[in-house]
Amino acid sequence: MATQQTRVAGRLLVAPSVILLFLWMIVPLAMTLYFSTLRYSLLDSDNVSFVFLQNYGYFLSDPNFFSALVNTLVLVGSVLVISVVGGILVALLMDQPIFGQSFVRLMVIAPFFVMPTVSALVWKNLLMNPVSGLFAWIAHSLGLPAIDWFTNWPMLSVILIVSWQWLPFASLILLTALQSFDEEQKEAATLDGAGAIPFFFYLVLPHIARAITVVILIETIFLLSVFAEILVTTAGGPGVATTNIAFLVYKQALLNFDVGGASAGGIVAVVLANIVAIFLMRIVGKNLES
């Protein structure tokens, strides 16, 4: 039984973390909210005026915002589909009694540890370059014309790079979930003569459904703010073809020096992320109770 003394000590020990995180979250967020109501340019910082919701009006009616929103959703959605469907397939394959499973696992998980700037530049140059890249050589060998990835398919290129980074994450987590699947249940189903496809949809899929949800939610939170991959490959271009909300806010703040507008965009990003977060928190919270 915890004594009065340890209970007091317990609270004191949690306090530093709570205070630090509170300051880290609330102070900047409050400042962003405040800035978002100002006309405030870094180039003219003596001339700051209160404009209430005007920045939101500008930001939300800006066609660039709409295209950034669409780009964000396309990027998040495509990477989710590729990494989750691909991840299920890879995990199912790796869950078989294959030779050298742990070595295959090492190869599959590796891209997750590669920093975003490296994966983006390696893909853009070594693989996707339309003249000397490896993909161009493969296309030529097959008698096909080489694809100029970043000129003709900029968003697809970014999607491929980001998917490569997240497929390992989905595979690893889904494999972990699969491995907790009861061996006896598997054998029973096999003895009952269940075909592979019904077996997957009626037994395997429900078993890993929760892990899939967790993967989707966690990936969404990270994918909503993909930044470095865009910065070093396309810088949001050509035009605004690969500008997502995170990149748009960065551009508005640090390249156009528009503090007010960028803050309004930041708040929009926070609202978007929160919608996803609420669902994730509910799942994690349930787990905490059990």
Partner 1 sequence: MALKQSMGKRVGMSAAAWLIGFLIFFPILWTFLTSFKSELDAFAIPPKFLFFHWTAENYAEVQSRSNYLLFAYNSIVLSVGANIVGLIIAVPAAWSMAFVPTKRTKDVLMWMLSTKMMPGVGVLVPIYLLFRDFHLLDNRLGIGFVLLMMNLPILIWMLYTYFKEIPVDILEAARMDGASLMNEIVYVLTPMAIPGIASTMLLAVILSWNEAFWTLNLTTSNAAPLTAFIASYSAPEGLFWAKLSAASTLAIAPILILGWFSQKQLVRGLTFGAVK
Site for partner 1 in 158-197 (CB under 8 A): 164, 167-169, 172-173, 176-177, 180
What separation in angstroms does the CA of 98 have from each of 93, 105, 119, 182?
8, 11, 29, 18
Out of 51, 69, 74, 127, which residue is the one contacting partner 1 (CB under 8 A)? 127
Among 3, 175, 166, 19, smallest CA distance to 78 is for 166
- String of contacts with partner 1 for each residue 206-245, x by CB under 8 A: ----xx--x---x--x--xx-xx--xxx-----------x
82 near partner 1, rule: CB under 8 A: no
35 near partner 1, rule: CB under 8 A: yes
Nearest approach in angstroms of CB 185 to partner 1 is 19
Residue with tokens 């339309």: 130
Nearest approach in angstroms of CB 198 to partner 1 is 19
Interactions with partner 1, residue window 257-286 (CB under 8 A): 259, 262-263, 265-267, 269-270, 272-274, 276-277, 280-281, 283-285
Interactions with partner 1, residue window 1-30 (CB under 8 A): 1-3, 5-7, 9-11, 13-14, 16-18, 20-21, 24-25, 27-29
Nearest approach in angstroms of CB 206 to partner 1 is 15
Nearest approach in angstroms of CB 27 to partner 1 is 8
At 128, which amino acid appears?
A: M
50 near partner 1, rule: CB under 8 A: no
Residue with tokens 């490896």: 134
Out of 62, 67, 74, 116, which residue is the one contacting partner 1 (CB under 8 A)? 116
Nearest approach in angstroms of CB 74 to partner 1 is 18
Nearest approach in angstroms of CB 64 to partner 1 is 15
Binding segment toward partner 1, per CB under 8 A, in 60-68, 102-110, 184-192, 199-207: 102-110
What radius of gyration, in Å, describes the C-alpha atoms of the chain? 24
How many chain residues are in contact with partner 1, going by CB under 8 A?
111
Strand duo 49-50 + 38-39: pairing: antiparallel
